[in-house]
Structure 1
Amino acid sequence: MTRRLILPALALAFALGGCATTNSSNVATVGAYRDTIDLSGRLSVNYHKGGNLESLTGSFNWAQRPGNVDVELANPLGQTIATIAVTPQSATLTQAGRAPITEADIDTLTQRTLGWPLPVSGLRDWLQGYAVDEQGQRFAASPARNEVVTRDGWRLRFVEWQDPNAAQPAPRVIHARRAAAGDIQDLEIRIIVNQA
């Protein structure tokens, strides 16, 4: 798999670093951040590199447990292209027909495989409608309060909700944008979370 095809895998993995404590596993009834969730969805990534627009799409299965995250990524035809396993001790990218690539953390893994580090901070939160804002404060998204700029420079917009009338709605569509990351410009990620 080329670097081009690794990007969707690592775009999903950029936020797998932090571990929080939680207690429930049903993503459809989000009331507080949970460390144990299982969900699936689709992902599209658009960015400019060397003056060229690149676009990638795929789907994912996400299994999050206290201290660990396992992500399976598939191409638009549903064929698994990569798996990512993140633990407190390491991050491993596995692709069919290739030796696994393991590093001490997801930052080092993305630097090695992409040539630039993706920020490791948010996706564990974003998938549940949370983020850490520019001032370091905890942000809980809602239909009335759906945009935030994160501490590490991502502009998030929670576009659609699983149940917009829930006390703390779970996001269904998330747009994330960052002006620059290494030699990548205008990085945009669109995440669609399937309803649990």
Structure 2
Amino acid sequence: MPSTIRFKLLVTALFLALLNTGCASLHSQPAPVTASAQAANTRRYQPQIQISGKISIQYQQAGKPQSLPGSFEWEQDAQGIRINLLSQLGQVMARINQNELGATLELNDKSTRSASDLDQLLQDTLGWSLPVAGLRDWLQGFVAIDGKQAIAVKAEEQTLNIQGWKLRYVSWHEQPSFPKRIDLQRYTEQAGDVSIRIVVNEWK
């Protein structure tokens, strides 16, 4: 498999991994009451949203640091999730769809992969899985702790440990209240130290 295709599959798989559901444990120091903490009391989970922003992935390949900056478009509703991953120049690198019929991944070379769900698609694409909590909750400032119903995060000072990932809410949009920047970190045998930064620019 050419290295460029393998590179795209790796990056797409890392992003797909963030969609899988899992458990979370919360470790935090006492924090002052902030605008985001107050807003969490009234924040409601939205089943239908459209989000766009920037994503930057840092990882290792053959022992050397690699970087992939780009952007994303996320649409979520009762029928499923649709995601576009774009390069810095705005070129669509991958389209991801999930609904009740299964999951599909279309790369910009027009090749398409499909599976019964995102977990299986990730396994088939890369050959390994990274089960972590879903961005469907994270992007709205919610986390599911110990498999229970997702609850609103109250303060950006909190650090979340989610199946090996460290999740930090760095900053928030205040009106309405939703995450502005999310940082993720973990170590993997396949990609070394992986760091992902998500900046949400628009929420509908």
Displacement of 1:100 in angstroms is 1.1
1:6 maps to which of 6, 9, 20:
9
Displacement of 1:104 in angstroms is 1.2
Q: TM-score, normalised by structure 2?
A: 0.77
2:194 maps to which of 181, 187, 194:
187
* CA distance in structure 2 between the aligned counterparts of 1:48 and 1:9, rounded to whole angstroms: 15
Gap regions ≥5 residues in structure 2: 22-39
Q: Which has the higher contact order (CA 8 A, sep 6+)?
A: 2
Q: TM-score, normalised by structure 1?
A: 0.80
- CA RMSD, aligned part only? 2.4
Give the aligned residue type for 2:15: L
Rg larger in structure = 2
How do residues 3-152 of structure 1 correspond to structure 2 at under 5 angstroms?
3-17=6-20, 31-119=43-131, 121-133=133-145, 135-137=146-148, 138-143=150-155, 145-150=157-162, 152=163
* CA distance in structure 1 between the aligned counterparts of 2:195 and 2:86, rounded to whole angstroms: 19
* CA distance in structure 2 between the aligned counterparts of 1:32 and 1:15, rounded to whole angstroms: 21
Per the alignment, in what secondary structure is the counterpart of residue 142 of structure 1?
coil
Give the aligned residue type for 2:167: L
* CA distance in structure 2 between the aligned counterparts of 1:192 and 1:62, rounded to whole angstroms: 12
Displacement of 1:107 in angstroms is 1.6
Indicate the residue corresponding to 2:165 in structure 1. 154
CA contact (8 A) 2:165 2:185 kept: yes
- Please identify runs of 4+ aligned residues in structure 1 that moved more than 4 A: none
Displacement of 1:129 in angstroms is 0.7
Displacement of 1:132 in angstroms is 2.3
Per the alignment, in what secondary structure is the counterpart of residue 119 of structure 1?
coil
Give the aligned residue type for 2:183: H
Displacement of 1:96 in angstroms is 2.9
CA contact (8 A) 2:141 2:152 kept: yes
Gap regions ≥5 residues in structure 1: 19-28
Indicate the residue corresponding to 2:32 in structure 1. none
* CA distance in structure 1 between the aligned counterparts of 2:99 and 2:135, rounded to whole angstroms: 15
* CA distance in structure 1 between the aligned counterparts of 2:157 and 2:71, rounded to whole angstroms: 27
CA contact (8 A) 2:156 2:171 kept: no
